[in-house]
Amino acid sequence: MMKAQKRKIAIFTGNRAEYGLQYPIISAIAGHPHLEYYLFVSGAHLDENFGYTKREIEKDGFHVWKEIKAEIKA
C-alpha cells in the first residue's frame, strides 16, 4: 500500500501585521499530518529598522524556508 504524499503549501509573509493574520493558518498547516509548508519571509521581517521580525516567526516555532531580500525605502 502506498503512503499518501503530503500536500505542499507555499506561504509568503512580508510584515508583522500580515504575519499576525497568517499565524493561525500557518499553525494549522504546520500541525496537519497531510500538509507541509514552505515559509518565505521578506520585507520588514528582514529589516533591523522594523525589528527584524523573522526572529519572532522562528520563536513561534515556524521554520523559515527562504529569505527573499527586498530593498525597503521609507
pLDDT digits (tens, 9 = 90+) for 3-35: 789 999 999 999 999 999 999 999 999 999 999
Q: pLDDT above 90 covers what percent of the chain?
A: 81
How far, in Å, CA of 15 to CA of 56, rounded?
11
| Pairing outcome for strands 35-42 and 7-13 | parallel
How far, in Å, CA of 39 to CA of 66, rounded?
7
Supply the pTM of this predicted model. Answer: 0.85
- Identify which of 10, 69, 73, 17 has the alpha carbon closest to the alpha carbon of residue 43: 69
How far, in Å, CA of 38 to CA of 49, rounded?
25
